[in-house]
Structure formats: structure tokens, C-alpha cells
Amino acid sequence: MNQNFIPLSVPNLKGNEIKYVTHAVETEWVSTAGPYVNDFEEKIAEYVKAEGAISCQNGTSGLHIALQVCDVTREDEVIVPTLTFIAAVNPVKYIGAEPIFMDCDDSLAMDVDKLLEFCQKECSFIDGKLINNRTKKQIKALVVVHVFGNMADMVKITEIAKEFNLKVIEDATEALGTYYTEGKYKGKYAGTIGDVGVYSFNGNKIITTGGGGMIVSNDEELLKRAKHLTTQAKSDELYYTHDEIGYNYRITNLQAALGLAQLEQLGDFIKIKKDNYYLYKERIRHIEGLTILDFKDDIRPNYWFYALYCDEKYPLNRNEIIQYLLTKNIQSRPIWGLISDQKPYIGSQTYKIEKAKTFLEHVVNIPCSSNLSREDVMYVIECLNNPEKL
């Protein structure tokens, strides 16, 4: 059969995108000034029930600003996951601070038991500061990533953060729309539980502005400072007076117009992703050696990415699956290489990295776009059910 190429994750632009972007062009509001920017910020804050939202150029710039508004400096350290995209950690280095890498749990997010153990056994809590016994530096914050639209254990994370006076930065770049359905944080969205949250609207995310991101918080002072830093830190806009180093990070009106049209469709995108996830899960469970990893029971995930776990009973290993699917016109990818193993981070402190290594060897991401048809999903499943050695 002549199967059209099935990409891993691509945008779905079937709403009011052309209408809104055309309007932005026709009115000549195309740069960082323009009504769509403020409207997009307000609509995101409203959707996730946050006090406010500040737009930025991408999730990475959002995390850079989040670290600064949490008062992380070059003298500090930040606890980060090793199993994530490197953009979650690089901003720590932008500031000049040092990362400490933590293992993951079965949700692929940070292992909270090891996090607590590290704070208790490898650190000292002195005068309200968590001090790393090895380096004698203060650990000021932790970056928590909600991997693939799942949710990290925010109940335990916030408890640990409170006990050791740590700021919590939520990298929710993959988790817009994910929220708790029960427990202490019932109804709370990913990105709104810690001190600051960050979303991404990259081309492969659940909604896109091409590039772009959003910082959210329930702390008005943090939001005010984030707005100040993302707009070149002007203390007097008319006379161009600047009181600190700022950044040209604000999203453009064109991007915001695209984002508004996308946000209108987010509920539909999540439903499509959910239906395809359960179709994959139901059919693949009958294939020996393959499993679709679960999302947590106490959340409504956004089902952004699907994680296929292959064990030794399947005739192909991780790399062979990726190459085999490509011969069938199906794009897939391995999970990210562990950041603590990357060249810029060799020598950085790590703590009991174990489970992340297993997931690295066994997880493959398979097509998950919100415009993926049932026929496409069934074709992927058919190929996985009849593997061929290359």
C-alpha cells in the first residue's frame, strides 16, 4: 500500500488562524504591540485559572525569566530532572547557577522520594536555607517538568519545597490543559501550583504560535517583574530609562493571533488525542513486548505525547523500531538523551540516576498529532504488530 508519511507531531490549523492573523496584518499590528498579545495573555490566564500570564518568545525564555523572578543567582544551585528536553535546564546555566540532576519515577517526572532523600541526607537546612553539603552553595529552587502531558507529584513536591524553602518552577511546556481531578489540588492546572509556571507554543505542542511561550503565576509581584524583564526592563517607557538588564522576549501580535485561534480549539485537540491514545493503548496491549505508558489516575492529562515502552520480548529494540517505522513512512523518536550525560553537563552533580536510564533505553514516541486519523493510528498499530528486521 502507498501510505502517506505520518509525522510524529505537527500543528492542526483548521480554525480561525487565517482570519485572526490576516486581521493583524490588515491593521498593521504585527510586532510586540497589538491587541492580540494582551488578549492571548488574558485568555491563557483565564483558561488555567491563574492570576495572570506574561507572554514570551518560547518556553526556554519563559524558564529563564522564571528563574530570575524566583531570585536564582549565579551563586545558587537548582534541582532539575535529568530526563527531559535540555531546554528545561539550559536556563539555569544562562543565569550562571548550577544544576543538580534528579532521577525520574514511573510518570517520567521527578522522583519525589529521591528528592526528599537528597534534601535530608545530602544537604543541611540552616537559617532558612538549603545548603548542599558537597558544594556549600544554597539550593534556591527546583524545576519540575510535567513530561508528555503527565503531571509530576505536585502534592509532595510542594510539601518538600515548603519544608526546605525552595521555589518551585513548573515546566508545563508539554502540559497545557492537564489538571488534577482529585486530591489536594483538585481542579488545579499544571503550571499553576508552584511559584511560577511556563507553557510552550512550539510547532509540536498541543497548541502552537509557531514559536512562543507563556509565564503564569498567582503572585502579582512575580508577574509584574516578569513583564518588566520581558520588555527590556523599562522604568520609563517614554524616555527609555532602564533599571536593570532586560530582554526582548515578548511575543508578537501575529503569534498571539495564531495562539488565540488555537486556544479556541484546545478542548477538541485534547479529545482527539485522548481517543487516539486509548485506541493505541487497547490494541497495543495485545502485542507481546509493547506497552503504552499510563498517565496518572488522579489527573485529566492533555495526552500530548504517547510513550511506547518496548521490552526484551519484542523482536526489535528501541533503535530498530524507529528505523523500521521509518521504512513504513512513520516518524517516531527516542526519548531524550539524559541531560546529565550531555557534554555541557558532564561533571554536574547527580543523585541516584537509575530509572531514567531504563526509560532511555526502552521508550519510543509514536505519532500523536491532533489531526491524526483513526486510519493512521490503525496503520501504525498494524506495522508494530508485524515487525520486520531490517
How far apart, in whole angstroms, are the C-alpha atoms of residue 336 and residue 272? 25
Q: What is the pLDDT of residue 210?
A: 94
40 Cβ neighbours under 8 A, 6+ residues apart: 55, 251, 256, 257, 259, 260, 263
Query: What is residue 276's DSSP assignment?
Result: H
Q: What is the mean pLDDT of the chain?
A: 97
The answer to whether 341 and 312 have CB atoms below 8 angstroms apart is no
Q: What is the pLDDT of residue 390?
A: 74
pLDDT tens track for 210-230: 999 999 999 999 999 999 999
The C-alpha angle with vertex 252 and arms to 250 and 255, in degrees rounded to 5, equals 120
Q: What fold does the segment set 266-385 form as a domain?
A: Aspartate Aminotransferase, domain 1 (3.90.1150)
pLDDT tens track for 254-279: 999 999 999 999 999 999 999 999 99
Residue type, 191: G
Q: What is the pLDDT of residue 137?
A: 98
Which pLDDT band holds residue 2 (cuts at 50, 70, 90)? low
Residue ranges per structural domain of the chain: 17-263, 266-385
- Which CATH code of 3.30.70.260, 3.40.50.2000, 3.40.640.10, 3.40.50.11540 fits the domain covering 17-263? 3.40.640.10
The per-type count for the chain, helices as H runs and strands as E runs, is: 12, 18
Q: Which of these ranges, 89-103, 149-163, 236-250, has the smallest mean pLDDT? A: 236-250
Is the pLDDT confidence value at 1 over 50? no
In this structure, the dihedral spanned by the alpha carbons of residues 110, 311, 336 and 109, taken in order and rounded to 10 degrees, is: -10
Pairing of strands 299-300, 179-180: antiparallel
| DSSP string for residues in 74-124 | TT-EEEEESSS-GGGTHHHHHHT-EEEEE-B-TTSSB-HHHHHHHHHHSEE
